[in-house]
Every structure is written in C-alpha cells, then in structure tokens.
Amino acid sequence: MYDRTRKNPIQIYLSDEELDILNKKFELSRKTNRSAFIRQLILEGFVYDIDFSEISRYNFLLSNIANNINQVAHRCNETRSVFRSDIDTLRKEMDKLWQLQRSMLSNLPCEKQ
C-alpha cells in the first residue's frame, strides 16, 4: 500500500433507495470519483434540523386572519358597512404575522459565499 494522506477508511450500509439517491447525486456532481464526492458532502454539505413550531404558529396566525376576514365580510354583507375596529384588528394580526415571518427568515442558515 502506498503512502496515503487519508488513512482512515469507513464503511457504511445503505438501502437500495439510499444507494440510488447517492448514485444520482454523484452523477449530477460531475465528480470523477465517489470518494471525492463523499468527502465534499462531508466537508461542505449541510444537515438541517428544522423546528416546525414557528411554522405552526405562522399557520395559526394565518387561520386567525382568515377567520376574521370572513367575519368582516359576513358583517359587510349583512350591514353594508365596515367598522374601523375590524380593520385595526386585521392590521394588528397582519403585523404579528409579518414579525413572525421576519423572525423565521432571520433564523435560516446562511450559505458561505
């Protein structure tokens, strides 16, 4: 065996589906050998752990806004008028939604340029 700079072999077991995915990604990478491709995945790849609690909160706020819009529309159809308090309530809820969205976007991982 010749003098290698990488002396630590690893062995992993993949399902047929996982192996197919690896092979497809390897082909798309245009790398010339699989070891170089896997090393690049290890060194430069990303693994995301996603917390869906903020998305649940976002969906909850969207649902509240949709319900309030339906109530305002129903009242408009009955009385032919819109109350300023209804519009203010909708604006406050939209502000909460935008604030949550900005928070979610600011927590996304940034890729190196």
- Hey, what are 76's tokens? 């408009």
Phi-psi region for residue 5, left (φ > 0), alpha (ψ -120 to 50) or beta? alpha
Residue 70 forms part of a structural domain: yes
3-state DSSP call for residue 99? helix
What range does the domain containing 37 cover? Answer: 14-47
The residue that leads in pLDDT, 92 or 50, is: 92
Helices (H), 10-83: 16-29, 34-44, 53-79
For residue 85, give Cα distances in angstroms to 48, 68, 90, 108: 42, 12, 9, 35
Based on the domain organization, do 43 and 77 belong to the same domain?
A: no
| Mean of pLDDT over the chain | 84
Q: What is the pLDDT of residue 15?
A: 97
Q: Supply the pTM of this predicted model.
A: 0.45
Same structural domain for residues 61 and 102?
yes
More confident residue, 85 or 49: 85
Looking at the structure of the chain, the number of domains it has is: 2
Let me know whether 59 and 93 are in one domain. yes
43 and 85 share one domain:
no
pLDDT (tens digit per residue) in 11-58: 999 999 999 999 998 988 888 899 989 998 899 887 666 777 878 888
- Integer Cα distance of 1 and 26 in angstroms: 27
**pLDDT-above-70 percentage for the chain:** 90
| Shared domain check, 98 and 68 | yes
Inside any domain, residue 77: yes
79 and 96 housed in the same domain: yes
Helix axis angle for 84-106 and 53-79, nearest 10°, is 160
Q: Please check whether residue 8 lies inside any domain of the structure.
A: no
Residues 19 and 33 in one domain: yes
| pLDDT at 6 exceeding the cut of 80 | yes
Closest CA to 101 of 68, 66, 50, 54: 54
- Residue 79: what pLDDT? 87
